[in-house]
Structure 1
Amino acid sequence: MELKTNFELNTERLILRPWVIEDASSLLRYASNPLVAQAAGWLPHTSLTMSQNVIATVLQADITFAIALKTNSKDPIGTIRLGNPTENEVLVKVTDADLGYWLAEEFWGQGIMTEALIAIIDLAVKELNITNVWCSHFANNIRAQQLEQRLGFQHVYTEYDVINARTGMHHNVHYARMTAIDWLASI
């Protein structure tokens, strides 16, 4: 997938937009939370420079959106990404995409990530002709598991004792898939 994020998606409450370097202070504020970092699989941000570097590199890859509330589109509260599926090359095809996301803790439980995920899955299936959208979460991340199940993702397999290269921690990782056929049938 060669498409880059140079456009916005709008939902009822959200603007999904490209990250810009001016978002670094917001990113630092939310990405420094150890609970968010642990669930997402990276180390908490510790400086403005670190957040600026992440925006300039990681958050420019594939189709990556800053999640912002329409009431304050200048202050991103999370990220949602649709990327090349590199987690397990045995189970994925060229027409598959990998979904990643995180949301600031103070916005959990408000349906914000559900709204963002619906928009990005629609984009993947209807506009990008993706046939399978994959996502993964650490086995102890029950919130992600419940969210993915509510949206209709089906568990496919679990990888045991995976070492996270960013944190050095060991995790069991659950992988789930949403087929385009299932998504279109559910809406």
Structure 2
Amino acid sequence: MSGSMSRTTGNLPPCPVIRTPRLTLRPHVLSDAEAITASLCDFDVARMLLRVPQPYHPGDARDWLETEANGDTAWNAAITGKGGAHIGVVSIERQQNAWHLGYWLNRQAWGRGIMSEAAWALIDAFFRERPDSTVRSGVFADNTASLKVQAKLGFTISGISDVYVPARGATVNRIETHLTRDAFTPARS
């Protein structure tokens, strides 16, 4: 599919490989299943995610990698650090006629600005492909770290909803957010 055709449909070209000063974002491979499973078995990671079951099994990771990780309506980038270790995911995917940002990091990568760097890089690439798009996202009300990441990127709050979270087995408040190209915060040097 040509670049111009992908701009007018829900499809995206393949997920690009993106390098930042500390990270490489790349398409997933089946061998990522072990690292994904290890990260998402951690309840403190899974409890902040909208669609992740708990407990999380190796088969869940393999199923996701085989069916959704590299589809043409999403960029699901593996976040890898020095040495190529899989430490998380940042994605932009088409859901309900809108583009949505989602992300997670394993616990060992928290608190170092990694997600801000990874999300900025993927959003920047996405806006080069789709400059007239709006990216939607959201965070659970008790996830202040994630809300700070989105604020750094230029997201603004657009509402609050109640959502069921499988890992928690409960309904929680979700702060809905959105980002336009004009509001996207440039990278800091």
Counterpart contact for 1:138–1:174, Cα < 8 Å:
yes
Alpha-carbon offset, residue 167 of structure 1: 5.8
Deviates more, 1:55-64 or 1:142-151: 55-64
In structure 1, give the amino acid aligned to 2:80: A
Aligned to 1:72: 83
Aligned to 1:47: 57
In structure 1, give the amino acid aligned to 2:78: A
Counterpart contact for 1:5–1:17, Cα < 8 Å:
no
Identity %: 26
Q: How many residues matched?
A: 175
Aligned to 1:174: 175
Alpha-carbon offset, residue 135 of structure 1: 1.0
Alpha-carbon offset, residue 166 of structure 1: 7.0
| Cα-to-partner distance string for 1:104-155 (whole Å, 9 max, x where unaligned) | 1110011110110110111121222243111111111111111111222111
**SS of the residue 1:40 aligns to:** coil
- Are positions 1:11 and 2:11 aligned together? no
Aligned to 1:124: 126
The CA distance in 2 between the partners of 1:23 and 1:12, in whole Å, is 22
Alpha-carbon offset, residue 4 of structure 1: 4.8
The CA distance in 1 between the partners of 2:152 and 2:56, in whole Å, is 34
In structure 2, give the amino acid aligned to 1:156: S
The CA distance in 2 between the partners of 1:158 and 1:6, in whole Å, is 30
Aligned to 2:102: 100
Aligned to 1:133: 135
The CA distance in 2 between the partners of 1:177 and 1:50, in whole Å, is 29
Q: TM-score, normalised by structure 1?
A: 0.84
**SS of the residue 1:182 aligns to:** coil
Counterpart contact for 1:157–1:174, Cα < 8 Å:
yes
In structure 2, give the amino acid aligned to 1:174: I
Counterpart contact for 2:53–2:166, Cα < 8 Å:
no
The CA distance in 1 between the partners of 2:157 and 2:18, in whole Å, is 28
In structure 2, give the amino acid aligned to 1:152: G
Counterpart contact for 1:65–1:81, Cα < 8 Å:
yes
User: Structure 2: where are the runs of 5+ without partners?
Assistant: 1-9
Counterpart contact for 1:137–1:174, Cα < 8 Å:
yes
- CA RMSD between the two structures: 2.0
Equivalent residue in structure 1 for 2:29, among 15, 20, 26: 20
Equivalent residue in structure 2 for 1:37, among 24, 30, 46: 46
- Are positions 1:59 and 2:47 aligned together? no
Counterpart contact for 1:5–1:65, Cα < 8 Å:
no
The CA distance in 2 between the partners of 1:67 and 1:5, in whole Å, is 16
Counterpart contact for 1:45–1:51, Cα < 8 Å:
no
- Alpha-carbon distance change, 45 to 11 in structure 1, aligned in 2, over 3 angstroms: farther
